[in-house]
Structure 1
Amino acid sequence: MRKRTYRARVWLDDQEYRAYRSAVKQSGLTQETFLRQLITGYVPRPAPPMDYHRMIRELNSIGNNLNQIAAVANSNGYINIEEYRKAVAYLRRVLSEIQTAIALPERR
């Protein structure tokens, strides 16, 4: 059974249709998802550059390394836990800021 039971149709002139198709293409979303975001009060952003995904993977790798360092240090008993927690919190904050700035839709 379909989750959405209503279908909406709209007529556009040439200029409106070109602008709509261009915005959808830039966002990397489907036409339906693009319109749903607009309806719910979000302005879809252009799709992030290819480097974005590489940067996120790299930052996640840094986070994994921090976790491994912490595991080893905890077993050996010589780590400054407070400094480690600050580093992890900073990493998470940076990841969140990157995702917010590049990928998440913007509230109107």
Structure 2
Amino acid sequence: MKRYSFVIRLTEDEMIQLNAKVKQTGLSREAYIRLLLQNKVPVTIPPDIFYKVHNELCRIGNNLNQLANRAHVLQMIDVPSYRDNTNRLYDICFKLIEATIPRMSDA
């Protein structure tokens, strides 16, 4: 439970700068400052294109997985190799998320 509060005086320029940095992260000012106190670097919100690319990559991965399953049943393709590529695609998707989106526990 958070029990303490404090007042900090900033110049207009400092307040503008703080608000701009906070806005880039999507966090509250309080959460932003808490991250700084923990020596963590607040992560900026990814651009909208990130989500479009991520969703498209996931769709491609799902399609690859469905094709791999069908190819296995028909015995027409090297399934282990195909599955490895599918797993690599999913790994890239998750790394993309981890690299650009702050974790809720950090806020």
TM-score range, shorter chain: 0.7 to 0.9
CA distance in 2, matches of 1:69, 1:27: 39
Uncovered stretches (5+) of structure 2, i.e. residues with no partner: none
Shift of 1:88: 1.8
Stretch deviating more after TM superposition (81-90 or 64-73): 81-90
Tell whether 2:61 aligns with 1:63: yes
Shift of 1:62: 0.9
Shift of 1:12: 2.7
More contact order relative to length (CA 8 Å, sep ≥ 6): 1
TM-score (norm 2): 0.75
Q: Cα deviations across residues 60-103 of structure 1 (Å, max 9, x unaligned)?
A: 10111112112212322333122113212321332244334433
Counterpart in 2 of 1:18?
Answer: 16
Shift of 1:104: 4.2
CA distance in 2, matches of 1:85, 1:32: 44
Q: Cα deviations across residues 36-69 of structure 1 (Å, max 9, x unaligned)?
A: 3223332112211110110110011011111211
The sequence identity of aligned pairs, in percent, is: 29
Count of residues paired in the alignment: 102
The runs of 4+ residues in structure 1 deviating greater than 6 Å are none
- 2:34 pairs, out of 36, 56, 64, with 36
CA distance in 2, matches of 1:99, 1:20: 25
TM-score (norm 1): 0.75
**TM-align CA RMSD:** 2.2
Counterpart in 1 of 2:52?
Answer: 54
